[in-house]
Structure 1
């Protein structure tokens, strides 16, 4: 198959979406498929839209370019949209509506969690043909290690985020920073943060590490004892997956899709108010969850195979899919709607 993926892959440390693009493109190429990151090939079988925001640096092509390709080059190409974002994640405005209007030209929709699908379908219209394909990370890099609580040093909590947005959990991370100033708590725990930090956040008790990826990141994660994620309205993420694959029991926020990915592999908390109690519970039950971590199965091979299975199934049923394509949405009016919501999102982002 000839498959176009709408991403500009960045080498080095970047966000979870970039990791997804690396995993999928390498997997498909290793299985004999041609991968493109543009729409220059006339004989594409599948176009995967990963983000409809034309203003985002990592976007290789947007819905309007896809419409032009279908109109003028190849009307038989099959269109798939991967949805991994929402306004609720970072407090943006206009993104949810833009995702929906872009979806009107799609043949199939992939959501990365049940939580995200339910959120979007409650607000807007999306294709009936859809799948949930959960994220996965590379277990050959983030290798499992059997964990035990240390007896000769402090218990080490670790997390990592590329984004410096406060919604990544900085209400809890700031609270943890304050707890670490207390002699009793600070003598027992330490907190390592890998990645970018919001401006004006107090981090005097937090050990900050620069953003990194691959084996360097895996080594830092493996040096920890507990993986903490306090991200708010997380559509899925890769960070907690990478920590879990390294064998670290999870202390995770009861928010977004985190329970879908983390349940059974650690202890959840609701926020600042019950964070310390949940941490103490995890410490008491540490050995139970440490044994569980070898069963954690959100791996990139499984994720990529599900994408490949979907693409092959769609190609086999291409004629039927094209017969039911909503051709009325490939109109000049819909072009204006997409461009309008792209501009709304861009303006709202500038105002924020």
Structure 2
């Protein structure tokens, strides 16, 4: 199989999309598939659209280039659109429209969490499925992590590449202020790893610049509990990396977080995390015992994508028979010109 992935891999600390692409490329190449990052080859089997923002430095081609390729060079290539974004995530106003436009000429749509299916981000005309994200369990591993003994301070940690306030800074600010109180300062620590909103500073929490790979894994493993407070998180990788590292999760009831964290932590609503934190003191040992069963590894994720690609190729004629690239000429031209 020859596949083109619309992504430029980035070195060093980066977002979850980079971790996804790196894992999938490794899995494809391990079984002998040929991976391309552009649409130059005229015999591609699968094209994976990862982001409609074709001008972004990490995007190697967009929906317009795909439509031109299908129309002019290779009508037999099959297109998969992985939807991992939305306006609800950061309070933006154009991402859902871009995703919906980009979804025009695809043969299959993949969502990285179930809640995204209900948003106005796709044409609702293609077959679709949910394939959950997964992180590298050979890097983020339980064996590095030590148990909380119930006596020392409970060490909480989170990490984010993006510094948007909706990553949970309402909760992180409350947690930082909580550490100003001697009774809490004697019970907990909190470390934030990653980028911050412009001008933001913690007063009492520990802060570390963005880390990745083994360095990040070893830092996460020094802690006892992972906290994620993202609002409308499409899926993310951060909480997955924390859970794979053996840390029970305090998670906000928002976006994809319940789908990924349920059964492996304690949920809270809004910014009212203190009852869940109090509960964690009593339930830590119970939750710690189930963490080895956390399922969301990159191997599992990649197996889902490989199975999808293989199934699509086996049904290529059926998928092509229902494709209508020019069913809406104005929409097609918009994609070709603007996307």
Q: Is the TM value for this pair above 0.5?
A: yes
Match in the other structure for 2:179: 180
CA distance in 2, matches of 1:58, 1:195: 19
Return closer, same or farther for 1:252/1:333 CA change in 2, 3 Å cut-off: closer
Secondary structure, aligned partner of 1:307: helix
CA distance in 2, matches of 1:192, 1:127: 44
Deviation at 1:206, TM superposition (A): 1.3
Q: 21-30 vs 151-160, which deviates more?
A: 151-160
1:251–1:268 CA contact under 8 A, matched in 2:
yes
CA distance in 2, matches of 1:186, 1:43: 61
CA distance in 1, matches of 2:165, 2:337: 29
Which runs of structure 2 are paired with 1:1-352 in the superposition (5 Å)? 1-120=1-120, 125-145=123-143, 147-151=146-150, 153-272=152-271, 274-329=272-327, 331=329, 333-336=331-334, 339=337
1:27–1:304 CA contact under 8 A, matched in 2:
yes
Q: 55-64 vs 165-174, which deviates more?
A: 55-64
Moved over 4 A (4+): 337-340
CA distance in 2, matches of 1:339, 1:213: 37
CA distance in 2, matches of 1:127, 1:241: 31
Deviation at 1:100, TM superposition (A): 1.1
Secondary structure, aligned partner of 1:120: coil
Match in the other structure for 1:347: none
Secondary structure, aligned partner of 2:7: coil
CA distance in 1, matches of 2:273, 2:310: 45
Structure 2 spans left out of the alignment, 5+ residues: none
Deviation at 1:338, TM superposition (A): 6.6
Secondary structure, aligned partner of 1:267: strand
1:23–1:304 CA contact under 8 A, matched in 2:
yes
Deviation at 1:88, TM superposition (A): 0.3
Deviation at 1:55, TM superposition (A): 2.6
CA RMSD of aligned residues (A): 1.5
For each residue in 1:35-75, what CA deviation from the matched residue of structure 2 results, as whole angstroms up to 9, or x when unmatched?
01111111100000000112322111001111111112111
Deviation at 1:329, TM superposition (A): 4.3
For each residue in 1:126-158, what CA deviation from the matched residue of structure 2 results, as whole angstroms up to 9, or x when unmatched?
234011000001100001136422456321100
Structure 1 spans left out of the alignment, 5+ residues: 343-352
CA distance in 2, matches of 1:147, 1:56: 40
2:111–2:131 CA contact under 8 A, matched in 1:
yes
TM-score, length basis structure 2: 0.96
CA distance in 2, matches of 1:147, 1:331: 59
CA distance in 2, matches of 1:135, 1:310: 15
CA distance in 2, matches of 1:236, 1:34: 28
